[in-house]
Amino acid sequence: MTKSQSNLSQFKDFLAYLATVKGDLSNITAPPFVLSSKSVTEIPASWAERHELFLKPASEEDPAKRALLILENFLCSLKRQVYTAASEDSDGGAKKPLNAFLGELFLGTFHDAGSGSTTQLISEQVSHHPPVTACFLYNKDHGISSSGYVAQETSFSPTSGVTVQQIGHAIIRDEKHGESHLMTLPTMGVKGLLTGKPYPELQGTCYISSSSGYLATIDFEGKKALGHGTKNSVHAELSNVRDNGKVLFEISGQWNGTLSVKDLVNGGKPEEIDVDAVPYTELHVKPVEEQNAWESRRAWRGVIDGINSGDMYLISEEKNNIEEAQRAMRKAEKEAVVDWPRIFFHQSGSDEEFDVLSRAVPDDAARNIAQDRTAGVWKFIGIDAAERLLKNGIYHTSLEPTGQVIQE
């Protein structure tokens, strides 16, 4: 039997197993050959990878155009976000990112070549059951930041494939103009599993509600089961809530291809945006040997080596070392009646900013903060406190993720 035949056989067995599981599948361990070499903690980096576009609202004086720029950055970030989550391989397939462990950190910076300013990314796995990732991105020079958190609830059916419902939100803040923009999140899916050619898709409707009075409504509609429609299609409208919902701009196309932006007020030729042509900025991450033991790429180094070399034994052994240690930590915490200490985020019982911004959203479910499904409301500790921690570079002083005691 060839390696590909063996993989296909294991994959069919895995799908058959998924069909028997009831409830959330987020923490199910996938076969090694369908694993991505990236953790889910890396996904938030996509929000600022089109770095010029991420910073652009700070230099735009028209509030409607600022809202449009926020929408364009959201749409242009989706390809990288989805393919970090689904990790498209050379054959056009999709792979599953590594399940992050509680306390896992992913840290990095984007550098703006023009101004020399830096955007800091902080991503932390703040809950394991349910799995919740919290993140904060900020650029002090431009006064732009993005904070948010998301829980993922995963389900599977033979007909619709894997569906990942994202529960949570992000808030973009523009300090220069005193604006905030609430962003709800789409549902992600993996289609084509039964044909052996899986591909990612986005589903449903999400919103961006701006404190300046603008509302973006984004509808995702991919290829249907009977072959109708186009993969990765999106249609978005930006309306003025304070002017009876008058639609100002319309964007349509494919979020992983080309988007057409129409100005419905002034007319003119639509602007064409090739997502791949939007300037991309590489995230700078410390070399693995310089990272703290709790940082993602160092913690998963053995697993990543195994994935890159195709060594399934190494993958299984390294994953098991972390997963068994994490189970032991949770058991010890339960017995001692203590909670795992988060580093950059803390729980809160409410979010007034969300409550205010969500009032313009015409969807009851999207207005529900659903903290029972996200293990609470997660808030950033603040830039000054975070920078002191980043400078120190020491996050958990006693244990490594594998349970080994850190030697001083």
β-strands 258-263, 246-254: how paired? Answer: antiparallel
The mean pLDDT value for 82-101 works out to 67
Tell me how far apart the alpha carbons of residues 75 and 236 are, in angstroms, rounded to a whole number: 9
Q: Which of 11-20, 52-61, 155-164, 342-351 has the lowest mean pLDDT?
A: 11-20
Confidence of residue 22 (pLDDT cuts 50, 70, 90): low
- For residues 311 and 264, the model is more confident at 264
The mean pLDDT value for 210-238 works out to 87
For residue 406, the 8-state DSSP code is: P
The pLDDT assigned to 221 comes to 86
Both structure tokens of 408: 């001083």
- For residues 318 and 408, the model is more confident at 318
pLDDT in tens, 237-249: 999 999 999 999 9
Tell me the percentage of the chain whose pLDDT exceeds 70. Answer: 85
- Spatial contact of 55 and 144, defined as CB atoms under 8 Å apart: yes
The mean pLDDT value for 150-177 works out to 88
Confidence of residue 255 (pLDDT cuts 50, 70, 90): very high
- For residues 395 and 161, the model is more confident at 395
Backbone φ/ψ region at 4: left (φ over 0), alpha (ψ -120 to 50), beta: alpha
* Residue 235 predicted with pLDDT over 80: yes
- Spatial contact of 165 and 187, defined as CB atoms under 8 Å apart: yes
* Residue 196 predicted with pLDDT over 80: no
Q: Which of 56-65, 67-76, 301-310, 354-363 has the lowest mean pLDDT?
A: 301-310
Question: How many DSSP H helices and E strands does the chain contain?
Answer: 8, 17
The pLDDT assigned to 199 comes to 80
Confidence of residue 92 (pLDDT cuts 50, 70, 90): very low
pLDDT in tens, 52-78: 999 999 999 999 999 999 999 999 999
* Residue 87 predicted with pLDDT over 70: no
Q: Would you kindly state where each structural domain of the chain is located, as residue ranges?
A: 1-194+284-408
Q: What is the 3-state secondary structure (H, E, C) of 142-153?
A: CCEEEEEEEEEE
151 — phi, psi (to 5°)?
-105, 150
Tell me how far apart the alpha carbons of residues 301 and 292 are, in angstroms, rounded to a whole number: 12
The pLDDT assigned to 89 comes to 45
For residue 90, the 8-state DSSP code is: T
The mean pLDDT value for 354-365 works out to 96
The pLDDT assigned to 3 comes to 47
- For residues 136 and 90, the model is more confident at 136
* Residue 9 predicted with pLDDT over 80: no
The mean pLDDT value for 209-235 works out to 86
The mean pLDDT value for 1-29 works out to 50
The mean pLDDT value for 203-217 works out to 97
- Spatial contact of 47 and 171, defined as CB atoms under 8 Å apart: no
* Residue 17 predicted with pLDDT over 60: no
The mean pLDDT value for 309-336 works out to 91
Both structure tokens of 325: 């240690």
The mean pLDDT value for 152-178 works out to 88
Mean pLDDT estimate for the chain:
88
The pLDDT assigned to 86 comes to 58
Both structure tokens of 287: 């070399």
Tell me how far apart the alpha carbons of residues 302 and 38 are, in angstroms, rounded to a whole number: 12
The pLDDT assigned to 376 comes to 94
Concatenate the DSSP letters of all residues of 202-269 into one string: EEEEEEEEETTSEEEEEEEE---TTS-S-TTEEEEEEEEGGGTTEEEEEEEEETTSEEEEEETTT--S
* Residue 8 predicted with pLDDT over 70: no
* Residue 14 predicted with pLDDT over 70: no
* Residue 392 predicted with pLDDT over 60: yes
The pLDDT assigned to 390 comes to 96
